[in-house]
């Protein structure tokens, strides 16, 4: 094989040449590393034997240079030196890529063996380098494949993300569309509700006015008929008297209808208030029975009234109680044929301790089971076709129920068609707890909410309004016992609201809550005094005790009636 000897000493080269040529190797020579590179570029060489220390390029540099170049990287390379044999030099020789480190002088056998070893080592190194390369290639290919896969996955994820985003967008759109539709629907429903409420109020207002307007001429007609019947305007013959009697009875029936209409509008608008006083229910029953007896006698119906002994008094509104009993009795007579029996009974309620029970039983036509649920509904009448039911508006039992409810009791009916009916109602022996109705008027929702919770916990019945106009509307719908009024509000401020309250509801107790008691609004509010002033914010205790101190019992029929009891320009209590 061709061997390149690199040494700056010609004598060393000569000796080595002789040794190698003796073994049939072809020898080339170079005086230093640089020259060796030139030779190697020119001629194919099978192995290099190089000295370490040479001018221009030493043996380390030469080896490193060869290993750096692809085509010489596997060339067998031996460092052959005598000068330096320290372990560091050997290490350095290995590190730059030499296959063997041989000490000069060596016997020809050693030299040849070293050459063979270098060739073997370089072959091993080359194959491992290739394996390494392969591994690198495989690794690189694998990495590339992995990278591509990741890229694909990434693209897939990006697609999924985009799809999800689209879906999300769609859902958001659908949601907001749904919300819009719900809002629109809610607004529609609210508007419809308001419209219904407005119409209901309008109808109630109309009924009220109608009843009011009819009452006066009707009373006058009835009175004139009475004058004629008493023959104060001249003598009448029996036929005239009979006809006038029919006219007076018609007037009476009409009056009852108008009264019912009037009362029902007052119940509907919450304006019907009771004047509760302890009264003997049995005595009221006797009184009502006595007043209806002529009618029972005229119809040939036996009428009885029985009461348990020693019944305690109950807090009732006597007029309203009489109205209920008379109504039930009238119905009983109306639906019981001649020869029948109507009886009234008053006793302690067996199933309801602390209540009295009054029942009106008849042996009349009775009521079908399916009608019983609706019998107390407003304007409900059972269609019978016998004319009896048509003598009214279907308001009688409705009013009975509402009046009994206002007393804190309840009414029920038992009936068997063809056998008769029993209407019974209960009233408590102690006045029902009537909660004071407070109206909070404040544009700040947190204050409204806070005060509402505090006052409700303290046992008041609370409603709230966001401004003065709303408050006046609410008060128009149903009376309030006390108003808690803010001064600074949109639409209608506290001072203007107070002025209206005073004009419409007299001296209903008003508490003005303000943080600025010296302002212009306060000056205007003072023109509509009295009112109580409360600092804003104020403590829970102060709020509750002030409201309690001013609260009037709800059974008060009119705020005007009580107005004289109130102190004027009540300027306390102001609290922190």
Contacts with ligand ADP, residue ranges (CB under 6 A): 331-332, 335, 362, 364-365, 367, 375, 380-382, 389, 392-398, 421
Residue nearest to ligand ADP (CB): 392
**Residue among 45 and 257 whose Cβ is closer to ligand ADP:** 257
Residue tagged 């009852």 (tokens): 256
What is the nearest approach in angstroms of ligand ADP to the Cβ of residue 538?
49
The three-point CA angle 486-491-495 to 5° equals 40
What is the nearest approach in angstroms of ligand ADP to the Cβ of residue 379?
8
Alpha-carbon distances, residue 371 vs 37, 340, 380, 386, 390 (angstroms): 124, 22, 10, 17, 16
**Residue among 396 and 509 whose Cβ is closer to ligand ADP:** 396
What is the nearest approach in angstroms of ligand ADP to the Cβ of residue 366?
6
What is the nearest approach in angstroms of ligand ADP to the Cβ of residue 254?
13
555, 406 in Cβ contact below 8 A?
A: no
**Residue among 262 and 398 whose Cβ is closer to ligand ADP:** 398
Per the DSSP assignment, residues forming a β-bridge with 102 are 80
412, 349 in Cβ contact below 8 A?
A: no
What is the nearest approach in angstroms of ligand ADP to the Cβ of residue 209?
21
Residue tagged 């004139």 (tokens): 224
**Residue among 366 and 468 whose Cβ is closer to ligand ADP:** 366
**Residue among 202 and 416 whose Cβ is closer to ligand ADP:** 416
The reply to whether omega before 561 is within 30° of 0 (cis) is no
**Residue among 327 and 513 whose Cβ is closer to ligand ADP:** 327
What is the nearest approach in angstroms of ligand ADP to the Cβ of residue 413?
8
Residues 6 or more apart whose CB falls under 8 angstroms from that of 209 comprise none
Which tokens is 6 given? Answer: 């690199």
**Residue among 50 and 424 whose Cβ is closer to ligand ADP:** 424
Residue 295: enclosing H or E segment and its boundaries?
helix 281-299
Per the DSSP assignment, residues forming a β-bridge with 533 are 512
Alpha-carbon distances, residue 1 vs 97, 240, 248 (angstroms): 21, 166, 155
Alpha-carbon distances, residue 549 vs 127, 210, 459 (angstroms): 108, 40, 14
What is the nearest approach in angstroms of ligand ADP to the Cβ of residue 439?
33
């Amino acid at each position: 094989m061709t061997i390149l000897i690199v040494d700056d000493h010609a004598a060393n080269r000569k000796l080595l040449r002789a040794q190698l040529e003796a073994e049939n190797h072809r020898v080339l020579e170079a005086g230093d590393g640089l020259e060796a590179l030139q030779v190697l570029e020119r001629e194919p060489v099978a192995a290099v034997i190089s000295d370490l220390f040479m001018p221009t390029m030493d043996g380390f540099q030469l080896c490193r240079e060869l290993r750096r170049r692809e085509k010489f990287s596997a060339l067998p390379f031996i460092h052959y030196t005598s000068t330096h044999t320290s372990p560091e030099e050997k290490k350095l020789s290995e590190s730059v890529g030499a296959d063997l480190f041989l000490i000069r002088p060596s016997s020809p056998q050693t030299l040849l063996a070293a050459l063979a070893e270098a060739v073997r080592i370089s072959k091993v190194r080359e194959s491992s380098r290739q394996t390494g390369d392969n591994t690198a290639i495989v690794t690189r290919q694998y990495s590339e494949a992995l990278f591509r896969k990741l890229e694909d996955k990434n693209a897939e994820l990006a697609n999924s993300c985009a799809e999800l985003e689209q879906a999300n967008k769609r859902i958001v759109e659908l949601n907001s569309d749904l919300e819009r539709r719900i809002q629109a629907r809610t607004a529609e429903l609210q508007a419809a509700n308001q419209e219904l409420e407005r119409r209901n109020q309008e109808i109630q207002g109309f009924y009220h006015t109608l009843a009011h307007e009819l009452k006066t001429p009707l009373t006058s007609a009835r009175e004139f008929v009475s004058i004629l019947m008493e023959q104060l305007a001249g003598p009448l013959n029996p036929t005239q008297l009979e006809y006038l009697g029919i006219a007076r009875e018609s007037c009476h029936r009409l009056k009852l209808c108008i009264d019912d209409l009037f009362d029902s509008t007052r119940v509907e608008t919450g304006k019907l208030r009771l004047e509760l006083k302890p009264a003997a229910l049995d005595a009221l029953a006797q009184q009502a029975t006595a007043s209806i007896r002529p009618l029972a006698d005229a119809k040939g119906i036996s009428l009885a009234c029985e009461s348990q002994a020693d019944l305690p008094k109950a807090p009732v509104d006597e007029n309203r109680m009489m109205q209920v009993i008379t109504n039930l009795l009238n119905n009983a007579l109306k639906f019981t044929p001649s020869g029948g029996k109507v009886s009234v009974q008053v006793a302690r309620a067996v199933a309801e301790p602390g209540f009295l029970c009054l029942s009106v039983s008849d042996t009349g036509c009775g009521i079908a089971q399916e009608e019983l649920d609706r019998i107390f509904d407003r304007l409900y009448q059972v269609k019978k076709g016998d004319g009896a039911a048509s003598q009214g508006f279907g308001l009688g039992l409705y009013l009975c129920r509402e009046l009994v409810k206002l007393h804190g009791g309840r009414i029920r009916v038992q009936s068997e068609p063809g056998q008769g009916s029993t209407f019974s109602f209960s009233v408590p022996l102690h006045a029902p707890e009537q909660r004071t109705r407070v109206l909070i008027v404040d544009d700040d929702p947190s204050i409204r909410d806070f005060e509402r919770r505090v006052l409700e916990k303290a046992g008041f019945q609370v409603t709230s309004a966001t401004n003065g106009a709303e408050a006046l509307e609410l008060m128009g719908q149903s009376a309030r016992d006390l108003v808690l009024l803010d001064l600074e509000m949109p639409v209608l401020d506290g001072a203007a609201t107070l002025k209206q309250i005073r004009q419409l509801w007299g001296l209903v107790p008003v508490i003005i809550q303000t943080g600025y008691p010296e302002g212009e609004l306060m000056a205007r509010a003072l023109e509509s005094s009295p009112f109580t002033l409360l600092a804003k914010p104020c403590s829970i205790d102060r709020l509750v005790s002030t409201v309690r101190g001013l609260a009037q019992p709800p059974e008060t029929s009119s705020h005007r009636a009580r107005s004289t009891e109130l102190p004027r320009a009540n300027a306390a209590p102001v609290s922190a």
